[in-house]
Structure 1
Amino acid sequence: MISGRQNTLNGSNKNQTKLFTSTLLYLIIFSLSIEVIEIIAEIILLLNPQTQIAFSFTDWIQIFLLGIINDVCITTIAFFFMWLNLIFRSQSKYYSPWGYIIFGLIAAVFVYITFFNTIFDEYGSVVSKIVWYFLLYKLLSFGLRLFIPAIRKNWSIIIYYFILFLYIITILTNAIGEYFFWDEFGVRYNFIAVDYLIYTNEVIGNILESYPIVPLFSILVIISVAITYFIGRKTTKTINNIPSFKNKLVVSALYCILLILSGTLLNINTHFQNKPNVYVNELQASGVFKFYMAFMNSELDYNKFYVTLPQKETIEIINNQYNSQGINNIQVITDTLPEVHKNIVLITIESLSASFLAHYGNTDNITPNLDKLMDESLSFTNLFATGNRTVRGLEAVTLSLPPSAGESIIKRPNNQDLFSTGEILKDKGYTVQYLYGGDSYFDNMETFFSGNGYDIIDKKDFTKDEISFSNIWGVCDEDMYNKALGVFSKNAEMGKPFFGHIMTVSNHRPFTYPENKIDIPTNIKSRNGGVKYTDYAIGKFMDEARKQPWFDNTIFVIVADHCASSAGKTEIPLDKYHIPALIYSPGFIEPKQVNTLTSQIDIMPTVFGLLHFTYKSQFYGKNVFSPDYKPRAFVATYQNLGYLESDILTILSPIRKVEQYKVQQKANLEFNLSFLDKTDSLYLKNAIANYQTVGYQQIAKR
């Protein structure tokens, strides 16, 4: 009798183990079949207009062979969530007292999230809502199964199907997401994608306004439901046959081995992503793993990851280059003429590539107002942005420092009380303000600017009557400029000079703007439309500003924050960093073209020079008209640090990698870069010294 029962139990355990193992293997095989989707996605990326195909035979092998290995590893790791669901399925957690303890903990966290301000609220309403809805689901789901035992079986089946559906649709959505990201930036997921994950409110809104998400997502849902039904029908028996702890342990051990192997291979394969052609590196890489690496390496220690020189030598180089003293690059800027305390209006324009302007060869006539201003201003024809994000542009004109490795200083902690443009002007008696048409919490702007003495005026300060049009990024440029005109007029009435820094938003995907303003309809959502509306709004702003009593006592500085695209065949495509800049003040500044190589960090020191300011400086930016100005430019991504001097571009990369290129500029703003087999030590040392000394001090405190 006992023997028969034991045989029955053994048979049951064997059947459970067999069923559980077969289910795991079936799901893993299904996951690997997703490779078909990944290969198709890779081919689509190859055919994308962003991709410049010039690959050797070994490049093709590397793209597809290593690409498939990387994708298999990611798929195995992604299976982790399904494995957790299968492993932790049990009935014992509902037994007293554990069931009530677990339910109480979930309820407590739910109440806390609902009624108290949490860290999730700092990243926009979407994040806090996602967390709230997830906890609500856990509370209801666990509560129903705890208090109504009769529904546990059917409810578990429903949850199993739901999780399987999420797993499938996530894989398919990721493939679509990688396509759109590549179409925008010409690379796999990177540091930009990390920011996009954090600032979900703006980003999700931007996606909804830019792409046909509803029909596209509807198709994805239909496909995912079909696959879920097919897989779920084959594996539902797992719900009712929960294996023993021992059986779970054996299967888990096998999966953990695959998990460790996958992580190891992904790390090893990154060493093969070092081809001169950036597209080869990007196409073979896994977007998901690149996203993870970017997330984990938001701040890079220069001394740890980059080639270095002895500290004493770097300080000597910097002191010689900037006529300064000490590790903090201390300079005393003096002028023999009296200071002129004119008002300063600084406008940083979203994504305005130089190639959009007729001054740089564009024939689409989309910037008539800016081109006219260029003729009437001190205009810079050979100026380069420091980076490819808005925070890099803001960092450049505010702190006048080379871009730091990893995340911008604006996004880092402890970034208050810095030596900045605003600090100099406050010491001169100026009212200092930052004006932004969106929510300034985005990109940590509010924390950065308020922590450095700026008064912030953003969308929260607009009344309903002041907003005629807005999209997910904020109010349209016209509304921002109208608000600025009112603010500046109030500033002028106070009898103090003012500095107003305006950041625009309209020239950004989804490129929507008020109707009947320009001859490109807003529903087209085109880049040219965004540029032309931005130009229209600036022209209207300048027309209104000329009517103000404070106009004749004001300098207007207009510069792009970065270019419209940073994608290119090389790690740092120079043409994608070339931006327009001008300084306009009729009767005070004579119109002139400056063809000297200039960095974005030189803009505000040049303005201070024109105003004959005397001040103590820690800036790396210099007045381009100063006798000791030495032309150079900084161009960087979050990992690759570029330094352009004369006709040599030096690129410093992790881990202690150095590349140099001979630069030849074409007439159409494009550049030919020829790799140098022999390193020029002078320019290499200058590049290292600039970036390494910024790494020493990180942030120059007041």
Structure 2
Amino acid sequence: MLKFIFPKRLSLLKTFVFLFLILSLFVRIFFLFYSFKEVDATFFKLANTFIIGFLFDLGTVSFFTLPYLLYLLIILKKLYGSILDKVFTYFAFSLGVIIFLFSFFAEITFWEEFERRFNFIAVDYLIYTYEVVKNINESYPIPLLLSGILIIFIGLFYFISRIGVFKTTFKNDTPFKAKLFPSALFIGIALIFLFFVKNKDAEQFNNRYNDELAKTGIYSFFAAFKNNELSYTEFYNTVNTDQAFNLVKQKIASNNSEFINPKKKEIYRAITNADSLHPPKKPNVIFICIESLSASYLHSLGSELEITPTLDSLSEKSLFFTNLYATGTRTVRGMEAITLSIPPTPGRSIVKRDNNQGLFTIASVFEEEGYDNNFFYGGDGYFDNMNTYFGGNGFNIIDRGRGFLLDAHIKTKRTNINDNEVTFENAWGVCDEDIYNKVIKEADKSSLNEKPFFNFIMTTSNHRPFTYPEGKIDIPSGTSREGAIKYTDYAIGQFFKTAKTKPWFENTVFVIMADHCASSAGRWNLNIDKYRIPALICNLENTKPQKIDKLSSQIDVFPTLFSLLNWDYTSNLFGIDVLKMKKEDERAFIGNYRNLGLLKDQKLMVLSDQHVVTYYEWETDNDDLISKEVDKDMLVETISFYQTADYLYHNNGLKLKN
């Protein structure tokens, strides 16, 4: 039977497959003994654990065999053993074995710390390279481990060569037909695992350790990469769910709001702002979400740089938020915070997850008030799942899409930014001036209708490689972030200059805010100074310019705007009106993929995976964090916000009400 599955030409492939299965079995046995006290070691449970594990091992190795298998299938018999054949074969085999050995060593160190197969934490290691490499260097003898991998590889290579596997692979007359069945077999296995098997299918036991033993590390890694979300309830501190909701409701309640179902695990509430003296206003709203703009770059927020004259000037004519913080470190996290008005949940942003359509967002509020909602992006909105998210949550799409279509079930309008509308473009999309010109065109069209419009604009020019049209500012394109910021500011100035000539300008409110800061790297898990961003609301009728120094969050800006517009609306948003915020209610949510923080009264509470809690006092003079004994009340508050946010997402509590 083995000769039928693996004819002589596939001798090395057979060795490769068996080598992986044996090494994977060895790792599984090692984990079993390492955590034996925790494993359900009854005969049938253990047997099922290893059987499921073997099937996942087989599925995993089938993916790795495909490139070499296809090569073996198509290469002509007369080329068997040629220089080309030997070079390709030796290279493919060596690369595959080194990857296996490295992954198995990495799995052992990962299990030692987390007692789990690879998950999103392992994927996260690819994102925070500096911190991870530093941690690994301090924790493990890297030169010794790498030397060990190399020695084992050389030993295996020598052994396989001595038993004649390479010789058999190169010197044979295996016909094409004999290679068809094994090719079809492994391709079939790979397709089954690709389309019908999920990593969670290995979880067939009540015991978590058996579930983890049944998985295969490499397969788990790519599954986590595809759906990189950490389970809050499994990895983070929790409180009673009812207690969490009750506390959150107390924190977001206001004199002008009433919870619709106060006894349910939800935060839907009716908010009343209008009265006879304050009738609702319905101006157009244009929101500019600026890529990677830290507060530290604005002269109006203390910078010594003179690169944001437009924003500095606008800040003097606006409601200017001077103490506002982004929730995360990526664009999709900022989009999540702004549109859903929700604290960050661990893992990837909801923008990139499944089950992220038909949600209650700020677009829901605008739509209820009769607005058309439009999302503008200068690149292809297929990137980072933006079009699927915005298109599935009430926005029309205007982007630089060239080849990727919206999902068929998303019923929304999509408009392309055409070639003749582009003056400059880099890898991320068109320059800011071009996207603003498109916004002007679409606003002109919208103003002919009776409906007001809400335009969400995502800029890209302030992003590496920091390139932009030459001759616009006095800093050459592609030389520095400062140049990109100055061009970003210049483009906003040109946009306002043109907008002021339009009949719709007087009846349009402009909201400007960054998606996140320019950098998040620092000494701490969460570096507070790396989350402060600028935000302002300008051109709002009968509203005097004001600096708002209250500590607030990205999630609060649009609830504040809705209050200023005197709207009565149903809210499923965690954000609150900053202008009505009491001193004791001031707070900001900051986080990254693994750490979730609540900043309040110069104190920072951080929840980390593995149920780790750290508490600091923030010394603003030197941006230093001083470890303190945990404040239990603040801990419960922090847990409550993040736990309820996670609960609502996983229990459809973020969905629109029918």
Matched, 1:490 2:431: no
SS state at 2:80 partner: helix
Cα pair distance change 1:238/1:344, threshold 3 Å: same
Aligned to 2:164: 241
| Structure 2 Cα separation of the partners of residues 647 and 152 of structure 1 | 70
Could you tell me how far 1:657 is from its partner in structure 2? 1.2
Could you tell me how far 1:369 is from its partner in structure 2? 0.9
Matched, 1:689 2:640: yes
TM-superposition CA deviations, 1:632-675 (whole Å, max 9, x none): 11000111110112221110111111111112322xxx522111
TM-superposition CA deviations, 1:306-357 (whole Å, max 9, x none): 1111122112211211124342112221012211001110111000000111
| Structure 2 Cα separation of the partners of residues 404 and 693 of structure 1 | 10
SS state at 2:579 partner: coil
After TM superposition, the structure 1 = structure 2 runs for residues 460-609 of structure 1, keeping only pairs within 5 Å, are 460=401, 461-524=416-479, 526-585=480-539, 587-609=541-563
TM-superposition CA deviations, 1:451-493 (whole Å, max 9, x none): 1111010013112110011011111111000000000111111
Cα pair distance change 1:574/1:138, threshold 3 Å: same
| Structure 2 Cα separation of the partners of residues 448 and 519 of structure 1 | 38
| Structure 2 Cα separation of the partners of residues 606 and 192 of structure 1 | 37
| Structure 1 Cα separation of the partners of residues 454 and 126 of structure 2 | 33
| Structure 2 Cα separation of the partners of residues 684 and 236 of structure 1 | 57
Q: Is residue 156–residue 239 contact of structure 1 (8 Å, CA) maintained in 2?
A: no
After TM superposition, the structure 1 = structure 2 runs for residues 412-491 of structure 1, keeping only pairs within 5 Å, are 412-460=353-401, 461-491=416-446
Q: Is residue 227–residue 353 contact of structure 2 (8 Å, CA) maintained in 1?
A: no
Aligned to 2:307: 366
**Alignment counterpart, residue 319 of structure 1, candidates 239, 243, 249:** 249
Cα pair distance change 1:448/1:293, threshold 3 Å: closer
Amino acid at match of 1:604: F
Amino acid at match of 1:491: S
Aligned to 2:268: 330
Give the count of matched residue pairs.
482
After TM superposition, the structure 1 = structure 2 runs for residues 396-411 of structure 1, keeping only pairs within 5 Å, are 396-411=337-352
After TM superposition, the structure 1 = structure 2 runs for residues 642-653 of structure 1, keeping only pairs within 5 Å, are 642-653=597-608
| Structure 2 Cα separation of the partners of residues 140 and 244 of structure 1 | 18
After TM superposition, the structure 1 = structure 2 runs for residues 108-119 of structure 1, keeping only pairs within 5 Å, are none
| Structure 2 Cα separation of the partners of residues 192 and 580 of structure 1 | 30
For normalisation by structure 1, the TM-score amounts to 0.63
After TM superposition, the structure 1 = structure 2 runs for residues 24-39 of structure 1, keeping only pairs within 5 Å, are none
Aligned to 2:74: 143
Amino acid at match of 1:400: S
Amino acid at match of 2:343: P
Matched, 1:672 2:624: yes
| Structure 1 Cα separation of the partners of residues 356 and 602 of structure 2 | 34
SS state at 1:579 partner: strand
Aligned to 1:62: none
Cα pair distance change 1:531/1:150, threshold 3 Å: closer
Q: Is residue 153–residue 240 contact of structure 1 (8 Å, CA) maintained in 2?
A: no
Could you tell me how far 1:195 is from its partner in structure 2? 12
SS state at 2:469 partner: coil
Cα pair distance change 1:655/1:293, threshold 3 Å: farther
Aligned to 2:86: 157
Aligned to 1:304: 234
For normalisation by structure 2, the TM-score amounts to 0.67
TM-superposition CA deviations, 1:178-215 (whole Å, max 9, x none): xxxxxxxxxx985495799xxxxxxxxxxxxxxxxxxx
Could you tell me how far 1:626 is from its partner in structure 2? 2.4
Aligned to 1:92: none
Amino acid at match of 1:426: E
| Structure 2 Cα separation of the partners of residues 443 and 317 of structure 1 | 34
Amino acid at match of 1:421: I
Amino acid at match of 1:377: S
| Structure 2 Cα separation of the partners of residues 439 and 554 of structure 1 | 27
Aligned to 2:615: 660
| Structure 1 Cα separation of the partners of residues 219 and 74 of structure 2 | 36
Gaps of 5+ in 1: 1-15, 25-79, 89-105, 107-133, 175-187, 197-226, 246-287
| Structure 2 Cα separation of the partners of residues 290 and 631 of structure 1 | 40
Aligned to 1:340: 281
Could you tell me how far 1:244 is from its partner in structure 2? 11
| Structure 1 Cα separation of the partners of residues 481 and 610 of structure 2 | 37
Could you tell me how far 1:291 is from its partner in structure 2? 7.9
RMSD: 3.7
Q: Is residue 344–residue 589 contact of structure 2 (8 Å, CA) maintained in 1?
A: yes
Could you tell me how far 1:498 is from its partner in structure 2? 0.5
Matched, 1:393 2:341: no
Cα pair distance change 1:425/1:150, threshold 3 Å: closer
Q: Is residue 508–residue 540 contact of structure 2 (8 Å, CA) maintained in 1?
A: no
Q: Is residue 318–residue 544 contact of structure 2 (8 Å, CA) maintained in 1?
A: yes
Cα pair distance change 1:236/1:141, threshold 3 Å: farther
Q: Is residue 510–residue 539 contact of structure 2 (8 Å, CA) maintained in 1?
A: yes
Q: Is residue 555–residue 585 contact of structure 1 (8 Å, CA) maintained in 2?
A: yes
TM-superposition CA deviations, 1:206-242 (whole Å, max 9, x none): xxxxxxxxxxxxxxxxxxxxx9xxx9xx979949932
Amino acid at match of 2:435: M
Q: Percent identity?
A: 42
Amino acid at match of 2:311: L
Could you tell me how far 1:158 is from its partner in structure 2? 2.3
Q: Is residue 194–residue 295 contact of structure 1 (8 Å, CA) maintained in 2?
A: no
Matched, 1:378 2:309: no
